[in-house]
Amino acid sequence: MTLDSPQRFITRIYYAETDAGGVVYHSKYLDLAERGRMEFLRRIGQSVGAVQAAYGLIFAVRHCDIEYVAPARLEDEIVIATHLTELGGASVQFRQVINKTLDQRLTVLAKLQISLVAINAAGKPVRIPDGLRAALQNFLEPLAE
């Protein structure tokens, strides 16, 4: 993963992401992760809008497992790593790591496994079309056994 790879997205923490505990609210990590996935798709030429226009499908989250390692705080610089680990008939799976930049190094804040399914306008699962599949295949990084 190079600095400008599609799998890497940098953002920052603003007040809207924090809660009265003084840290980032736990559900906001899922929002950060989605920014990472949307940017990954956009940069490989398969933005959410382009995919919907071309194929009439969107990806819906079916399962998410998230481990919280350390809290993010206001104004932290956040680096989101997004890796496509599975490409099924109608589904995709990502592994994502949310880091903060601290002293020019990355510190892990949270780790996610997230599964999505391609659905049509009626909400029914549909096979991922060939064009989209080929684009995703180029970035597939299966988890080591």
Binding mask 6-35 for a second copy (x = CB under 8 A): ------x-xxx-xxxxxx-xxxx-xx--xx
Q: Convert residues 76-115 into a mask of x (bound to a second copy by CB under 8 A) and - (unbound).
A: ----------------------------------------
Q: Which tokens is 37 given?
A: 């996935």
The residue among 87, 94, 105 whose CA lies nearest residue 33 is 94
Is residue 63 part of the contact set for a second copy (CB under 8 A)? yes
List residues bridging with 85 in a β-sheet: none
Write down the least CB distance from residue 144 to a second copy, Å. 22
Q: Which is nearer to a second copy, 66 or 90 (CB)?
A: 66
Identify residue 120 by its one-letter amino acid code: N
Distance from C-alpha of 18 to C-alpha of 15, rounded to nearest angstrom: 5
Phi-psi category of residue 102: left, alpha or beta, with phi > 0 → left and psi -120 to 50 → alpha: beta
List 56, 62, 108, 140, residue binding a second copy (CB under 8 A): 62
In sequence order, which ranges of the chain are alpha helices (DSSP H)? 28-43, 48-55, 130-137
Residues of this chain that interact with a second copy (CB under 8 A) are 12, 14-16, 18-23, 25-28, 30-31, 34-35, 38-39, 42, 47-49, 58, 60-68, 71, 73-75, 123
